[in-house]
Amino acid sequence: MNLLDAITSPDDVKSLSLDELGELSDEVRQLLIDKVSATGGHLGPNLGVVELTIALHHVFESPREPLIFDTSHQSYVHKVLTGRASQFDTLRKKGGLSGYTSRSESEHDWTESSHASAALSYADGLAKAKELAGAGEDRVVAVVGDGALTGGMCWEALNNIAAGERNVVIVVNDNGRSYSPTIGGFARNLTRLRDQLAQIRMQRSYDEVMETGKKTLKSMGWVGERTFEALRAIKEGVKYQVVPSEMFPELGMKYIGPVEGHDLKALLQAFSYARSHDGPIIVHVVTEKGHGFAPAVNHVADQMHSTGVIDPITGEALTASVPGWTSVFSEELLKAAHQRSDIVAITAAMAGPTGLTPFAEQFPERFFDVGIAEQHAVTSAAGMALGGLHPVVAIYATFLNRAFDQLLMDAGLLSQPVTLVLDRSGVTGSDGASHNGVWDLAIASIVPGIRIAAPRDPARLREEFNEAIAHGTGPTVVRFPKGDIGTDVDAVERLPGGTDILFRPAGEAADDELEILLVAVGSFAENAVVMAENVAGDGLRVTVVDPRWVIPIDPVLIAMAAGSDMVVVYEDGIVRGGVGSALAEALASAEVDTPLRQLAFPDVFPLHGSRTEILREYGLDPASGEAQLREWAESLRD
């Protein structure tokens, strides 16, 4: 029997010898390759933390001593060691295992959010709660990547953790990247730190080690007892060094590292020391993303940060790649940049996923990767706009949540021409609740003076993006969903305000027929046309319009609504605060009493599943929409 077959909880991990832990590491790594290659998921990050996670569960007492994984996309090994190995066939599928930690799955999962840079704040809060409950001797462990440490929230948390004496263990998983290589001054400091201490380890004799150690420590400003402590560690051949707050010198926290992240003996030594230490401590672990799977390690773009279905041997994709929304945006941005020298592009550590890599290659001096720092990205963009540039900030729709204050007060209040391009708007699917972009319309629509475009097809994406960057008196948003972009949905007519009529009933209305105005937002346009055609025989005359620019409300919609029996807004955002809400307010202000109904998400956090499954679950697929139209029409007739 494999060792993995006997692992049902962390207690089973604690009973294993060092050699057995090594065997377990191999088995877990093979399980991940086999299972994730079949389902898709975050393969590279999890292959990089196999030994690290095993060592954590061997030393600490989960769930009493919480393990908090920042973003938690690298929690697959944690799931395996806490009794969920048999569920990996259902990974990221509807009703199956979440791709992130999930409180509903296990008592060992303390958080659910997969937004970066939050783990240290959770850990600070948990440590304070334990202290007040009389359990302050317990440790709270936060595993945070060097990429996540570029986010400002980490620094706010570190400032508070360092101010106390609570037992917070900060494990810095340093693999040199998030989606892409980690940038900024902190990343340079990590590289310098690794290089300095690596010099000590490379010495071949005790005298050389001691002499080099003394010089290195002296250059760091060490004297007295601290020097003795570090040199003693070197002499005894320990795989880590205790150095004085070199990673965050102003905070004064104890530091261990760098520790070889795939050496179980070194990890166990380091974590055992950290668990015996009173007060906050940093354990700096150097890992390799994709470790043990050559196709991932050699994957230049992102070490297989997130994959679809792949061959478990070669790593080759087994599903065909077709042009998506992101690629169309990328092409249009390049065209604009060649025509206008004031166009600059900003990413928050995701140049590849948001389509900015070609721009970065052709215009490196006009490209800015700010790290995982959406707040800084938007305000920095406002500063660039103040300086005469037109910044394009490309981020996932879900991450706009983090930069709302900056959009409102720094770009909106100053009426600066900043264009936000929101990828993965609406339902993203398998990444689940924290990655679905269903809140962006509600968040952005309340910014005074903002203009929001929701293109329905490739032609409209190109068209509306160029209209956005031509706008010079306030922020603009262009949003589009994840996935294939499909073909163009041509308009029957474009009205003077820019609204497109996509479908218009033929002939004159009979006395018993109802006139319905169906306002389709973005990629729902194609579904809306199908719905209108299918209900035409039921005494319903449905006119489908695409406003293109959904915020502010085009006055023509108010006039069209006044001549209709019912208005239906079909959008892939939440029901409150989106396009439907804005149109309802506009109709009320104009004293138009035509009833308005909304096909939109209720107040829920949509869980993981395919886009098709999620839309069907909440009645937003064409068949459900048709049934709802008929039901609403019957209520009007009654």
Which residues make up each annotated binding site for thiamine diphosphate? 73, 114-116, 147-148, 175, 293, 374
> Among residues 35, 166, 239, 402, which one is catalytic?
402
CB atoms closer than 10 angstroms to residue 451: 21
Give the residue ranges of the annotated binding site: 73, 114-116, 146-148, 175, 293, 374
For residue 499, the 8-state DSSP code is P
Give the residue ranges of the annotated binding site for Mg(2+): 146, 175
Torsion angle (degrees, nearest 10) of CA 305, 309, 310, 311: 150
Partners of residue 31 on adjacent β-strands:
none
List Cα–Cα distances, 42 to 4, 37, 216, in angstroms. Answer: 21, 10, 39
For residue 538, the 8-state DSSP code is G
Q: Known catalytic residue: 235?
A: no
Whether 278 and 302 have beta carbons less than 8 Å apart is answered as no
Q: Known catalytic residue: 103?
A: no
* SS3 state at 256: strand
555-562 vs 579-589: helix axis angle to the nearest 10? 70
What is the token pair recorded at 98? 């979440």
Whether 468 and 549 have beta carbons less than 8 Å apart is answered as no
> Among residues 51, 65, 260, 374, which one is catalytic?
374
Whether 377 and 370 have beta carbons less than 8 Å apart is answered as yes
Q: State the burial class of residue 288 (Cβ atoms within 10 Å of its Cβ: 0-12, 13-18, 19+).
A: middle
* SS3 state at 321: coil
Q: In sequence order, which residues have a C-beta less than 8 Å from that of residue 487 and are 6 or more positions away?
A: 457, 458
Nearest to 329 by CA among 444, 425, 472: 425
3-state secondary structure 88-140: HHHCCCCCCCCCCCCCCCCCCCCCCCCCCCCHHHHHHHHHHHHHHCCCCCCCE
Q: Known catalytic residue: 526?
A: no
Distance CA(371)–CA(190), nearest Å, equals: 15
List Cα–Cα distances, 116 to 47, 277, 383, in angstroms. Answer: 19, 27, 24
DSSP string, 154-178: HHHHHHHHHHS---EEEEEEE-SBS
> Among residues 84, 130, 177, 289, which one is catalytic?
289
Whether 238 and 269 have beta carbons less than 8 Å apart is answered as yes
Residues that are catalytic:
289, 374, 402
